[in-house]
Chains A and B, each alone.
Chain A
Amino acid sequence: MQNIISGYGLGLRTEHYADFLADSERLRQRVDWLEVISENYMVPGGKPLYMLDQIRRDFPMVMHGVSLSIGGTAPIDVEYLRHLKVLIERIEPAWISDHLCWTGTDGLNLHDLLPMPYTERALRHLVERISQVQEFLGRKILLENVSSYVTYRADEMSEWEFIAALLQRSGCDLLLDVNNIYVSSVNHGFNPQHFIDAIPATHVRQIHLAGHENHGSYIIDTHDHPVCDAVWDLYAYTVRRLGAVPTMIERDDNIPPLNELLDELDTVRRTAMQNLPLQVGHA
């Protein structure tokens, strides 16, 4: 299967393996591409790799990692990159992404996507590490904005200024998570449209949409609900501002039958079509 990513995708989840194996022809009409979590397939063998190989035959794919810890301060884990490279050779993804975050320090892994301080020092640190990783892998990477629940005293700029500067200086691309922007905008009290406005459009290669848990005064990025109205509105704004960017729904918990996600993906498609600037054409 060729690897041209355009249109609308889903995150591949084990709950839907059987659907993708049994019904790939019909599903190809409704899902343009799939994103796989890299670490789920960085295993020696067995069912995960078997399923991956089968489904890859029928769908274009991108890879999405959670353990790179690009913002960490321990040396880049070359062993991890080597394993990642083996998987890249197996999948031949259109691109690979991870998160703009750190996951632990001092040899430990908290298995969380922890926010970076938005400082000049952190920028320099990231630019250096991104170039190391891109050089090792021989390809550009995408980094995703994470949601956050704290604000560092050390911050010298806003998250969007930080990300815009990082994209320009490092040359890496952005996986724009619209839900994460919304979550952070509620938690920190900023206008999410300002965030979108600040992002250089040429660097945005992929968009994530997801649901979250609303606790009133704050929101937790849980990926266990359908996309909410406020995030649909922000997505519409994003499409008007950035044009056609491959977009997918992320559902990590409380995973519904595939048909429900396909219906939700139709809503993504419809929302994008209705908001695309005319001169840009279709996704």
Chain B
Amino acid sequence: MKPVATLQDVFQGAVLAGDRAPGLFVREGLNEIGGFDLYINAYRARLAAALKDNYPVLHLALGDDLFDQLASAYIEQRPSRYRSIRWFGDGLREFIDQNPELLPHPALADLASMDWALRAAFDAANADVCRTEDLAAILPQDWPLMRFTLHPSVNLLELNWRIGPIWHALNQDADAVTEQPDALDHTLLVWRQELECKWRSLEIAEALALRAVVRGESFAEICEVLAALDSDLTESDPSMLAASLLSQWLSDGLLVKLTAFI
């Protein structure tokens, strides 16, 4: 009597290899439709469907055939180690960077990052957001040392292409013919407000300020970061600029409710 573990190793090995599992079944053979081949096919189909769910805009941009090629390559090389299929595909961007020939245009790699970040924002942890009245309660002398925390759904992506227009075009019309995107190094902010996932491209000043928040820097330090920027990038004085960024972040729901004053 074969131990259960041996049987499962042979079964799984055969599914992964897409090949028969000698000695395991009463009826063998890949050609016998309705047997073991159903497991081989269902495995690939299910994982490919999960990738389509997690990368909806990349899927639209590539179309079924190219996306399926990419998905098959990924599934062969990076089988799932997750309990829940929800997380399958977490390494797709890295995989694309290692296998750039799988994409017809390098900008689509940025689309993959954006899809994954939006998917992550969708079910990221909840947190109470900071409101204008919370900031109004801060005493003037406490401002320089104030530190802020970003909502758990916030993600800052460093992208190399201007992919916003493709994203909009494909979301409005899945068959849209899209222009080649321009090369543009920039930061894309992705987050969730209430239940809605959002994104926008950031100017340099805002990107640097948000990075400073991520590093846990104080309001005074954020102002210093802004002051160090070339004056032709920012017109207003650093603390005015910091204040206007803060008010933007409040209305976007990017900041977590302040718990205690330091």
**Taking beta carbons and an 8 Å cutoff, which residues of A are in contact with B?**
39-40, 42-50, 67, 71-73, 77, 80, 102, 104-112, 114, 116-117, 119-122, 125, 149-156, 187, 215, 217-218, 220
Contact = CB atoms under 8 A, between A and B. Distances in A.
A20 B15 CA distance: 39
Nearest to A48: B123
Contact of A45 (B11, B42, B123): B123
13 contacts: A44-B123, A47-B195, A67-B83, A73-B8, A77-B83, A106-B12, A109-B82, A110-B12, A111-B46, A112-B42, A122-B4, A150-B25, A215-B33
B4 A45 contact: no
Contacts of A106: 9, 12
Grouping DSSP codes into helix (H, G, I), strand (E, B) and loop, the A interface class, with mixed when no group exceeds half, is loop
Nearest to A47: B195
Given A112-B39, A152-B25, A218 B33 contact: yes
Interface stretch (B84-92, B206-214, B237-245): B84-92
Contact of B122 (A46, A80, A108, A116): A46
B23 A153 contact: yes
Nearest to B126: A45
Given A109-B83, A121-B1, A154-B1, 10 more contacts: A42-B83, A43-B123, A46-B122, A46-B195, A105-B8, A105-B9, A110-B12, A149-B35, A151-B26, A218-B35
Contacts of A105: 5, 8-9, 12
A43 to B, nearest CB: 4
Given A108-B81, A153-B25, A217-B34, A117 B123 contact: no
Nearest to A125: B4
A46 B126 contact: yes
B143 interface: no
B74 interface: no
A45 B124 contact: yes
- State the 8 A-B residue pairs at the shortest beta-carbon distance, nearest first: A218-B34, A45-B126, A44-B125, A43-B123, A73-B5, A46-B123, A151-B26, A39-B84
B9 to A, nearest CB: 6
B202 interface: no
A216 to B, nearest CB: 9
Nearest to A50: B195
B34 A117 contact: no
Contacts of A50: 195
B113 interface: no
A112 B43 contact: yes
A71 B152 contact: no
Contacts of B86: 39-40, 43
Contact of A152 (B7, B83, B88, B195): B7
B38 interface: yes
A65 B78 CA distance: 24
Contacts of B46: 111-112
A47 B83 CA distance: 20
Given A47-B123, A111-B88, A125-B4, A215 B34 contact: yes
B123 A150 contact: no
A186 to B, nearest CB: 10
A45 B33 CA distance: 42
Contacts of B3: 121
B162 interface: no
B59 interface: no
Given A111-B47, A152-B24, A220 B83 contact: no
A55 B24 CA distance: 45
Interface in B1-23: 1-5, 7-9, 11-12, 15-16, 23
Contacts of A102: 8
Interface in B187-221: 192, 195
B80 interface: yes
The residue among B4, B11, B192 with the most chain A CB atoms within 10 A of its own CB is: B4
Contacts of B124: 44-46
